[in-house]
Copies of this chain bind each other. A is one copy, B any other.
Amino acid sequence: MSTPATPSSRKVQQVDAVTIRFVGDSGDGMQLTGTEFTKASALAGNDLATFPDYPAEIRAPAGSLFGVSGYQLNFSSKDIHTPGDQPDVLVAMNPAAFKTNVADLKVGGMLVVNAGAFTEQNLAKAGYKSNPLEDAAVQQNYQVCAVDITQLTQLALEGSGLSSKEIARCGNYFALGLMFWLYNRDTAHEIENINKKFAKKPPIAAANVAVFKAGYNYGETAEVFRGTFEVPAAKLAPGVYRNMTGNFATALGFAAVARQTGKQVFLGSYPITPATEILHEMSYLKEHGVVTYQAEDEIAGIGSAIGASFGGALAATTTSGPGLALKAEMIGLACIAELPIVIVNVQRGGPSTGMPTKTEQADLLFALFGRHGECPVPVIAAQSPADCFYAAMEAMKTAVKWMTPVILLTDGYLANGSEPFRIPDAAALPQVEIKYETAQNGENGEYLPYKRDAKLVRPWAIPGTPGLEHRIGGLEKDSLTGMVSYDGNNHEKMVRTRAAKVANVVEDVPDLTVTGPAKGKVLLLSWGGTYGSVRTTAELLQAEGRSVAHAHLRWLNPLPKNLGAVLRSYEKVLVPEVNSGQLAFYLRGSFPGVDPVQFNRINGKPLKVAELAAATRELL
């Protein structure tokens, strides 16, 4: 099997960072293309961040606008935190993909299109009267490389004996090969991957390899490209890495707790976009002490988790907005019964069914206040795809240590986005201890399930423990025995005690750290998935020598002890959110006198650094 032509003699230009977006029909395999290129970039030692953008429909009609599927990748020699605002390179496999994405492409950016797909019929489906590629503006604004990928793929596979349908499916490997050439990636390893991936279908494997090479060689031979680029390796901490999406990281985080403690992790969930993959991933981890249960609905999902928690399992449930709404009553029960459980809410566009495949941060106030009665629960938000791993461990640790439900917020962007994850050594992981009560704790040798320790935490005695038989439930309970009590003063005491316990969790909340000046003009305060964009914005403005600091809130309840002081150390606090200003409101309510400036987008996308930077400059 002939190896592809040796790397170009033509000049190789060094660049720091590149953002590529692959777009095509749901059927065009863009997600695969993107992931493969991501792997190669990772192996090349780049730091990276990715963000897929699926259509809501499973398989929209070929060529339709709403059927376009995209995958964006930002790879760099520096350490980066976002998949990039605007692509430098757009690879568009058909007119619909071109139409829905070209506006995002950087002016002067490189536009690679499959000219072969710009047929009358496809143009019509995308609502074009004429071929936009011939449009002068397009020619001026971008470096247009129109390649007839369709035809070149066919040529490459002549006599392969494959059906034309099968041949068409190989087109994405042509695009991949072309990009490999353009960024000088290691083709040998990719060829291995292809052969592995299609091991069961050798002819298909061979075909994809052939087309991949064809794409690579096309770059080498055809004169359409000025030259190739090289993005040097980033200076990442040494270690073993893997690429992870937020959902995968969340699953891994929970499983890690099971392995660490030797206890069972129980996940009771009901599928819902964009949280479903957590359940998928955990369903595979049977040999790792993970038990998964797909319940009949969200209520039964969390119900099963609370039941398992009563039995001593490290229990969790995973969902998204509509599911969180359905779980509200159950969270209240876990709160009053004081049973540990983690509720993962992968935020998506709302209200109601809203925009299931788009990201949003609009469930913050719901997570904080979304239960009847006084029902405080700790709330943690993950800040990046890989951070979901640590956030999941931390949430479970908090739940079992404090005997309380804990809400973990992630979002559609974190869930589906990916970044390299440095595999930690076991010792370095946050430790989770589990202690089941085994002895009576009452004066008269009885067991008092609500007798608390100094931190106000009640003991956890589980079925199977002789002599500690007890009953718990959702009615207000006597402060020691846990028996039903309608006494008003007992109720007031219990309400305050539950609140005090959750307030005590602050001992586990690290003080807020600030990057940039400790005092100054503007503090950018981010929470959850906007971390990357806000951090990048801060670095940009700091590089411009401006008095801008950045702090990130990982804990939403309790808030870090020093938060008030930090907020008051800056002339202005800017709170960027993908919602209408929920954290800003929460801060005003929590710190009288503090009145943050808001920066809100609610368009289903991660925040754009350029927009946020511009808004920040205006405050300076």
B366 engages A492 (CB within 8 Å):
no
B602 engages A495 (CB within 8 Å):
yes
B354 engages A603 (CB within 8 Å):
no
A486 to B605, CA, bound (A): 11
B579 engages A355 (CB within 8 Å):
no
Which residue of chain B has the shortest Cβ distance to A587 in the bound complex?
A: B589
Nearest Cβ on chain B to A264's Cβ, whole angstroms = 25
Nearest Cβ on chain B to A435's Cβ, whole angstroms = 25
A373 engages B363 (CB within 8 Å):
yes
B350 engages A372 (CB within 8 Å):
yes
Chain B residues with CB below 8 A from A56, complex form: 486
A374 engages B492 (CB within 8 Å):
no
B473 engages A325 (CB within 8 Å):
no
Chain B residues with CB below 8 A from A604, complex form: 486, 488, 491
Chain B residues with CB below 8 A from A372, complex form: 320-322, 324-325, 347, 350-351, 362-363, 366
Q: Does A6 contact B (CB under 8 A)?
A: no
Q: Does A588 contact B (CB under 8 A)?
A: yes
A352 engages B335 (CB within 8 Å):
yes
Q: Does A593 contact B (CB under 8 A)?
A: yes
In A466-483, which residues have CB < 8 Å from any B CB? 473-476
Q: Does A128 contact B (CB under 8 A)?
A: no
| Stretch from A14-22, A211-219, A326-334 forming part of the interface with B | A326-334
Q: Does A531 contact B (CB under 8 A)?
A: no
Q: Does A375 contact B (CB under 8 A)?
A: yes
B603 engages A492 (CB within 8 Å):
yes
A352 engages B324 (CB within 8 Å):
no
Q: Does A504 contact B (CB under 8 A)?
A: no
Which one of B347, B352, B585 contacts A332 once the chains associate, using CB atoms below 8 Å? B352
Chain B residues with CB below 8 A from A353, complex form: 333, 336, 473-475
A370 engages B370 (CB within 8 Å):
yes
Q: Does A592 contact B (CB under 8 A)?
A: yes
A328 to B498, CA, bound (A): 24
Binary flags per residue of A342-363, CB closer than 8 Å to B gives 1, else 0? 0000010111111111101011
Given contacts A349-B476, A354-B336, A585-B589, contact A370 B374 (CB under 8 A): no
In A35-54, which residues have CB < 8 Å from any B CB? none
Which one of B352, B362, B374, B595 contacts A350 once the chains associate, using CB atoms below 8 Å? B374
Nearest Cβ on chain B to A600's Cβ, whole angstroms = 9
A588 to B475, CA, bound (A): 32
Nearest Cβ on chain B to A605's Cβ, whole angstroms = 6
B370 engages A369 (CB within 8 Å):
yes
Residue among A349, A354, A588, A590 having the largest count of chain B Cβ atoms under 10 Å: A354
A496 to B374, CA, bound (A): 30
Given contacts A350-B372, A351-B374, A488-B603, contact A329 B322 (CB under 8 A): yes
Which one of B325, B357, B362, B365 contacts A486 once the chains associate, using CB atoms below 8 Å? B357
A369 engages B366 (CB within 8 Å):
yes
Q: Does A66 contact B (CB under 8 A)?
A: yes
Which residue of chain B has the shortest Cβ distance to A334 in the bound complex?
A: B352
Chain B residues with CB below 8 A from A321, complex form: 372-373
Chain B residues with CB below 8 A from A362, complex form: 372-374
A492 engages B602 (CB within 8 Å):
yes
A601 to B488, CA, bound (A): 10
In A578-609, which residues have CB < 8 Å from any B CB? 579-580, 585-586, 588-590, 592-595, 601-605
A368 to B589, CA, bound (A): 14
Q: Does A444 contact B (CB under 8 A)?
A: no
Chain B residues with CB below 8 A from A595, complex form: 592-593
B355 engages A333 (CB within 8 Å):
no
Q: Does A221 contact B (CB under 8 A)?
A: no
In A446-496, which residues have CB < 8 Å from any B CB? 473-476, 486, 488-489, 491-492, 495-496
Which residue of chain B has the shortest Cβ distance to A591 in the bound complex?
A: B588
Given contacts A56-B486, A349-B373, contact A322 B326 (CB under 8 A): no
A499 engages B580 (CB within 8 Å):
yes
A366 engages B355 (CB within 8 Å):
no
A365 engages B373 (CB within 8 Å):
no
Which residue of chain B has the shortest Cβ distance to A327 in the bound complex?
A: B325
Chain B residues with CB below 8 A from A592, complex form: 588, 592-595
Which one of B354, B369, B602, B603 contacts A365 once the chains associate, using CB atoms below 8 Å? B369
Given contacts A358-B491, A486-B604, contact A351 B322 (CB under 8 A): no
Q: Does A371 contact B (CB under 8 A)?
A: yes
Which one of B358, B363, B593 contacts A488 once the chains associate, using CB atoms below 8 Å? B358
Chain B residues with CB below 8 A from A605, complex form: 488
B322 engages A486 (CB within 8 Å):
no
A65 to B470, CA, bound (A): 23
Chain B residues with CB below 8 A from A324, complex form: 372
Nearest Cβ on chain B to A37's Cβ, whole angstroms = 25
Name 12 extra pairs, CB < 8 A, besides A336-B351, A350-B372, A360-B373: A56-B486, A320-B372, A325-B328, A329-B352, A336-B352, A349-B373, A352-B474, A356-B475, A357-B486, A374-B580, A488-B603, A586-B589
Can you pick out 15 interface pairs between chain A and chain B where the beta carbons lie within 8 Å of each other? Answer: A320-B372, A321-B373, A324-B372, A325-B332, A336-B352, A351-B373, A352-B474, A354-B373, A362-B374, A366-B369, A370-B370, A491-B604, A492-B602, A585-B589, A592-B592
In the complex, the 10 A-B pairs of residues with the closest C-beta atoms, listed nearest first: A350-B373, A321-B372, A589-B589, A488-B603, A351-B373, A353-B474, A352-B474, A351-B375, A592-B595, A325-B329
- Which residues of A come within 8 Å of B, CB atoms? 55-56, 66, 320-322, 324-326, 328-329, 332-333, 335-337, 347, 349-358, 360, 362-363, 365-366, 368-375, 473-476, 486, 488-489, 491-492, 495-496, 498-499, 579-580, 585-586, 588-590, 592-595, 601-605
